Chains A and B, each alone.
Chain A
Amino acid sequence: MKKINYILTALLGLSMQFAFAQTPKGSVLIKNATVLTVTNGTLENTDVLVQDGLIKRIAPDISAPKGVETIDATGKYVMPGIIDAHSHVALDVVNEATNPIVAEVRMKDVVNPYEIGIYRALAGGVTISHAMHGSANVIGGQNATLKHRWGSTDPADIIMQDAPRTIKFALGENPTRVHGRGNGIQPRSRMGVEAILRNGFSEALQYKKAWESFEATKNEKGSTAVAPQYNERLQTLVDILDGKIIIHCHSYRADEIYMLINVARDFGIKKLVFQHTNEGFKVAPEIAEYTMGASVFADWWAYKFEVYYSTAFNAAILQKNGALTSINSDSAELIRHLYHEAGKTQRYGGLTDDEALAMITINPAKQLGIDDKVGSLEEGKQADIAIFEGHPLSTYAVPQMTFVDGVKYFDITKDKDDQRQRISATETVEPIYLGHENHRCMQDTEHLFETANALFHTQH
């Protein structure tokens, strides 16, 4: 009897191992390329050997181990897979707009591995995207970091299971519009946004204390302690306070950015990244000193009032002030050419090639807490790789192949005419979309603003 239990346990353990080992890992030798390592400079005529999903060696004249495919990349550029720190790709739903704080919801529950946007991102060299909750709430849901393993039918397969937890916050126009103007509750102003944050974290501290005193006394002899009611929302806020979750905060204006920096400092929160951050340049020294930096658009501005006083030099100013800076898409379209968006930092601020490339590779990796695994071409890292014809910062560059964990998911020479994974029985056959919702930050809140949407504007 006991023996059987042991065997069953062992089997269970094994099956779990299989479950984790399911995602495919590849081996490949890329020969004779210009290798843009990002962290260790540019290496001419160099080979990259990938084995079982990891970068094994980067050196000239590596010979292919038995059975490993060789790709001749003479005249081509090899760079780390591009990482988009702000995206809504592969998400069926974006906003849970029902409360100013919805920390308990998880984007992991709404991942759609069939979305064509994944393949289109791969065709732009993007291997990892940060699939975020929308910006309707001051404290939104928990995001999912995705690896673009296109072709998988299991949502779990495209989630980067070894990435740390992150959560969406949002300041300014969007949460005040949804709650103050849409639902008639706090916050209606940026004052209210700060109050929601401080109230939320203070309540979380009480909750934490209640559990701690319960845990401390429950085993005492004759203890009458009753466990506090479990609350997923407050527990998530406690996890933020305990440094287990990285905040990624939608923000635009300098005042609101500065406000959140102060709130975070008051509550001892260190893991904080600002998103969009159009006026980040005005508080660049503060962002550099107290946070994990900012993830910004290359040049988007003027689509709403809070981004009217923007500058395309934002990324350069942040970078030169020592703030960790990345460039993101927040868009199904921009995600297709982030290498070009990064190139704009050379027009607007004259950044070097390495600085510009870092903004779409190692810098976003740091902001997502995955820089020990991806974000540069280094031996031992996961083999997320993009091959380009032409330097990736040139506007004429054309991505050729994209690998995730050493497996090739995009090859321009094998690109199919019909790119769908499957045909849906319920969707209209071949709907033609002529307008594009570039930004989906406010998706699923449209019902609150019927009249405002009359002119078909997307809100970012």
Chain B
Amino acid sequence: MKRLNQTFLIFLMAMMPLFAMAQIDGEFIKPRSGKFLLQNATVHTITNGVMENASVLIEGGKILQVGTSVSADGAEVIDCKGMVIYPGMIDGGTTLGLVEVSSVAETVDYAEIGNVTPNMQALTTVNPNSEAIPVTRVSGVTTVMAVPQGGLFPGTAALINLVGYTPDQMYAGAKAVVMNFPNSGRRGRWDRRSDEEIKKETEKALKDANDLWQKAKTYHELKAKGAELEYYPEMEQLAKVISGELPLMVEVNAAKDIQNAIKWMEDKDVKFFFSGVSEGWRVADELAEAGISVITGPVQALPTRQSDRYDTPYANAGKMSKAGVKVAIRTNEAENVRNLPFHAAYAAAYGMGKEEAWKAVTINAAEILGVADQLGSIEEGKIANLIVATEDPFETRAQIMHVFINGYRIPLSNRHIRLYQEFLERSPDLKAN
């Protein structure tokens, strides 16, 4: 028996080099927290201008200090000479983490059965290990709104940071109840409903919305008075909008619908903002006058009407912003959220300007979602969501060199990069055939 153990030990020793190799193969760089000093960069704070030769000190997940004379004080120093630092970008509307492969129904979790399901929680459905998350964050997008899709009230959206292994670790402190405002547009070329049918459906949906709103108000009032109510999760969730606990995220796109939505919200004393707003440029002044903020996009999209100028989707964000509307930009994507900086660049080039476009993917999104005290700019005390790049991260030729989310230094790897490493020079190559 003892001898057997000895033999096994010797065998194990002999195997060591093999295990060592296996160890190297399986080596995994993990997100790492600690104290970091990002030194000597051009820091674009967004809210306090641009600082040359400045440094950012990070500890405990927060930005400790920003300035030109920050001492390392025991921090791990990362030389950022010649580079730029920006706050991590925020995508105000995505299905990231809610879908893995969109044509495989088993992996699609953003839409539930039913027209009124505000109690469906995007946050609990987010898959922290979605392949798309590491693919997204290396582009500099550090925070996204995960938004349920579907019926009139499809669910509750949640803001998540793209680091962590549980939804609670990822949660970035903002939720919103989603409403798809009754829509008079067509969903696509294959949508063959007649104008009459669309009108009828829209009117019915608006009546439903009114009835539901009334019901939610009643529910809220009764509850406030201490009534014992039957289990009614849909109303429970809608009542949180009535009470002001959660904002309403109103998805609305066609110009006429936007006007109707402005009118519909007029007498409702709740927190809300609009999303989508693809024809916002047609009614930009009305949006500005009503003081409604918008999360708009995608920017790289087709015009909504055949007759429209080809650049209307590119120019939309800028036109609303110029009219005085607070604008954030979204991709409305899942696996392509990494393109957010390019959507913002298009908005910048077609009238919005770089400065406003940067706000639209940082501080404006944070303000609209109610987390501007935590996210959206490089300021002392805020959460350390930062990106370091060789140049303007809106340019495709820029390389993102470092990403910090929640103070974690994020490994710049993902499946796309690993496949590049494996296949750039394949072994065996062609000759081994």
Chain A positions within 8 Å of B, measured between CB atoms, are: 116, 119-120, 123, 281-282, 284-286, 288-289, 299-305, 308-313, 316-317, 320-321, 332-333, 336-337, 340, 343-344, 346-349, 390, 393-398, 415-420, 428, 430-437, 446, 452, 455-459
Contacts and interface: CB of A to CB of B under 8 A. Distances in A.
A458 B189 CA distance: 11
B138 to A, nearest CB: 10
Contacts of B430: 285-286, 288-289
A120 to B, nearest CB: 5
A394 B391 CA distance: 12
- Secondary structure at the A interface, as helix, strand, loop or mixed, is loop
B213 interface: no
Contacts of B111: 455
Nearest to B432: A285
B306 A420 contact: yes
Contacts of A346: 396-397
A122 to B, nearest CB: 9
Nearest to A280: B423
Contacts of B426: 282, 284-285, 321
Nearest to A395: B345
Interface string B173-195: 00000000001111111110001
10 contacts: A285-B430, A300-B336, A304-B102, A313-B417, A317-B424, A397-B349, A398-B349, A419-B308, A433-B187, A436-B302
A349 B423 CA distance: 12
A304 B183 CA distance: 28
Contacts of B190: 437, 446
Contact of A123 (B254, B279, B311): B311
Contacts, number: 184
B307 A343 contact: no
Interface in B318-367: 334-336, 338-339, 341-342, 345-346, 348-350
Contact of A415 (B191, B309, B398, B416): B309
B254 A344 contact: no
A332 B301 CA distance: 9
A408 to B, nearest CB: 16
A213 B57 CA distance: 84
A302 B105 contact: no
A312 B416 contact: yes
Contacts of A398: 349-350
Contacts of B339: 299
B260 interface: no
Contacts of B102: 302-304, 457
Given A302-B335, A305-B104, A120 B185 contact: no
Interface residues of B, number: 65
B297 to A, nearest CB: 13
A362 B310 CA distance: 26
A337 B300 contact: yes
A340 B342 contact: yes
B103 interface: yes
Most chain A CB inside 10 Å of its own CB: which residue of B101, B132, B195, B341: B101
B254 to A, nearest CB: 5
Contacts of B345: 395-396
A457 B397 contact: no
A308 B101 contact: yes
Contacts of B91: none
B302 A333 contact: yes
A313 B416 contact: yes
A300 B103 CA distance: 14
A456 B149 CA distance: 12
Most chain A CB inside 10 Å of its own CB: which residue of B276, B310, B338: B310
Nearest to B431: A285
B379 interface: no
A394 B101 contact: no
A333 B301 contact: yes
Contacts of B104: 304-305
A432 B395 contact: no
B28 interface: no
Contact of B187 (A119, A282, A301, A456): A456
